[in-house]
Amino acid sequence: MASSHSKTTLQLLKMAWRMTGGWKYSYRSMDFISTLSIWLLCSPYWLSSEWWEQVVSVIPNLLGFTLGGFAIFLGFGSETFKTMLSDRDETKSQYVSVSAAFLIFVCFQLAALFYAFIAKSLHFDLPGFTDRFSKELEVGNAIGSGIGYWIFIYSLVCAFRAAMRIFRVSRWYHHLIVIEAVEAANQSAAELRRQRRARRARRGG
């Protein structure tokens, strides 16, 4: 148990990535297919324009929303509910699983933002002696732009995965509330019947 609390940042990231499915799940998931489809449809944009401006304008607001939602999730529900979601094996804990989804979501957002910053800083007029490498530079620019925009799109698609995890948790919490309400009503009814029997017994005595 002690080793689980002494993991490095990289180990924690690997654990979170495995808990969200890892590479095998990602390649077969609707997240990847949706990202690829949107990425291909947007190829005329990221191949011919300063795509990083879109990333820089979108991601900071989305990142703030994500961190706010994560904070709400951490304070969400009763202690009974959090205990129900937890497990002695943290890799099987639904509570940690939702946190892992948010962590991966944030990581891809930050990766897209930092990539866009670097792409923007490298966008400048090249000296004349590089003209003979224009074809190579054009190909390299297309590849770099494609990678950056793919990360951006995937970070947006990850929002859906995180939202679905929160929706599942809210449904579980709803079921717990209903169960607790039924149990409380049954206890109240049983207590009422007990009091009635006690009054009848006193009258009969």
Amino acid 100: pLDDT: 87
Here the tokens at position 28 are 């077969």
Amino acid 151: pLDDT: 95
- Structural domain contains residue 60: yes
Lowest mean pLDDT across 37-46, 76-85, 126-135, 195-204: 126-135
pLDDT band at 2 (very low <50, low <70, confident <90, very high): very low
DSSP notation for 54-107: HHHHHHHHHHHHHHHHHHHHHT-S-HHHHHHH--SSGGG-HHHHHHHHHHHHHH
pLDDT band at 195 (very low <50, low <70, confident <90, very high): confident
- Structural domain contains residue 110: yes
- Structural domain contains residue 196: no
Element (H, E) at 187: helix 134-204
Element (H, E) at 202: helix 134-204
- Region 81-97: what's the mean pLDDT? 78
Share of the chain above pLDDT 90, in %: 25
Highest-confidence range of 17-26, 41-50, 78-87, by mean pLDDT?
A: 41-50
- Structural domain contains residue 179: no
> Closest by alpha carbon to 166, among 80, 97, 109, 116?
97
- Structural domain contains residue 191: no
- Structural domain contains residue 201: no
- pLDDT per position as a tens digit, 107-140: 999 999 999 999 998 887 766 666 677 788 788 8
- Structural domain contains residue 116: yes
Amino acid 150: pLDDT: 96
Q: Are 165 and 101 in contact (CB under 8 A)?
A: yes
Q: Are 169 and 94 in contact (CB under 8 A)?
A: yes
Mean residue pLDDT across the chain:
83
- Structural domain contains residue 2: no
Domain count across the chain: 1
Amino acid 149: pLDDT: 96
User: Hunting for tokens 């957002």 — which residue is that?
Assistant: 109
Domain encompassing residue 129? 7-164
**Angle, vertex CA 83, rays to CA 81 and CA 89, nearest 5:** 135
